[in-house]
Amino acid sequence: MLELYHSEPNTFFLKPLIALHEKQARFESRWFDADNLEHFTARFSDAAEANLHLEREGPLLRHAGTLISNSFFMLEYIAEALPGESLLPDSAYDRYRMHASGQFLGAHLGSLVPILGCVKYLAPRLAAMDRARLDACLEQVAPQERRQNWLALLDGTYTPQILETARERLKFPVARVESQLTIGPWLAGPRYSIADIDAFAMLRVLPDLTPSLVNPQATPRICDFLARIEARAAVRAALATSRSGKPAQHFVPGVEPSRWG
């Protein structure tokens, strides 16, 4: 059996949904409401992969008893383990480019994008919740760093200065992707691959979160890249799994933001 534990199709959660739909794979959707901390009250697994992976709140894939976490590794697993359209580059060099892109964007976009999204959209939702219930729920969250990521959205940690620093730091990865797209239409070789799915899921929200940074005038290649991928049938199917109708407004804390904050 193939099962995907996921929330709204955005950022980390969007990646495996796209890959599974590209493969036309049959899978069981195990949806949870991350905005209401449902994943903290429902125990999905006792495995270390479920509790300690770097993306913390991100998706989990279970295939024939094997648990896969971390969205880029999940993309690679789906590409290699499931039949259907190839999502891996052909040449060794292009596979290197695929891994380099995943590592680079995971480190940069993986921490910066979720914080901007969480402050804009998740923090107001948390602020509207009963604080006693919220505190009781978060008190059970481990490890401590994971709990602090959520509390930071409530206690004023993310000041305007820190958010401006995050936007400033996004300039580097955005410029690098824009430059990479001068070489060809895709990020890891002559055809679409999981490198493109990985980048798309994180870049897609930037015209909303940082409109002065990602727009048709400043980043024409990225905007074209996003439009071409969003037009794919598998991507439309993945986005259609949204229960809110506004998946780009749903975020969870990302990769260890305390390391750059």
pLDDT at 43: 60
Checking if the pLDDT of 79 tops 90, the result is yes
| Residue 234, number of CB atoms within 10 A of its CB | 18
Checking if the pLDDT of 242 tops 70, the result is yes
pLDDT at 141: 81
Calpha distance 87→76 (Å, rounded):
8
Considering only CA atoms, which of 173, 206, 14, 183 is closest in space to residue 102? Answer: 173
- What secondary structure letter does DSSP report for 120? I
* 62 SS3 class: strand
Task: Catalogue the long-range contacts made by 148-154 (C-beta closer than 8 Å, 24 or more residues apart).
Answer: 148/258, 149/56, 149/253, 149/257, 149/258, 150/126, 150/253, 152/253, 152/257, 152/261, 153/118, 153/119, 153/122, 153/123, 153/126, 153/253, 154/123, 154/126, 154/127
pLDDT at 36: 87
Domains of the chain, first to last: 2-81 (3.40.30.10), 94-246 (1.20.1050.10)
Calpha distance 87→7 (Å, rounded):
23
pLDDT at 45: 57
pLDDT at 261: 38
pLDDT band of residue 255 (cuts 50, 70, 90) is: confident
Condensed to tens digits (0 to 9), the pLDDT of residues 141-187 reads: 877 888 888 999 999 899 999 999 999 999 999 999 999 999 999 99
Mean pLDDT of the chain: 91
Of the listed ranges 51-60, 125-134, 197-206, 225-234, the least confidently predicted one is 51-60
pLDDT at 241: 97
How far, in Å, are 144, 203, 251 from residue 112 at the CA level? Answer: 20, 11, 12
| Residue 157, number of CB atoms within 10 A of its CB | 16
Calpha distance 176→29 (Å, rounded):
34
Condensed to tens digits (0 to 9), the pLDDT of residues 99-113 reads: 999 999 999 999 899
Average of per-residue pLDDT across 18-39: 94
Share of the chain above pLDDT 70, in %: 92
- pTM for this predicted structure: 0.93
Residue written as token pair 């359209």: 85
Average of per-residue pLDDT across 3-32: 96
Q: Note whether 58 and 9 are within 8 A (CB).
A: no
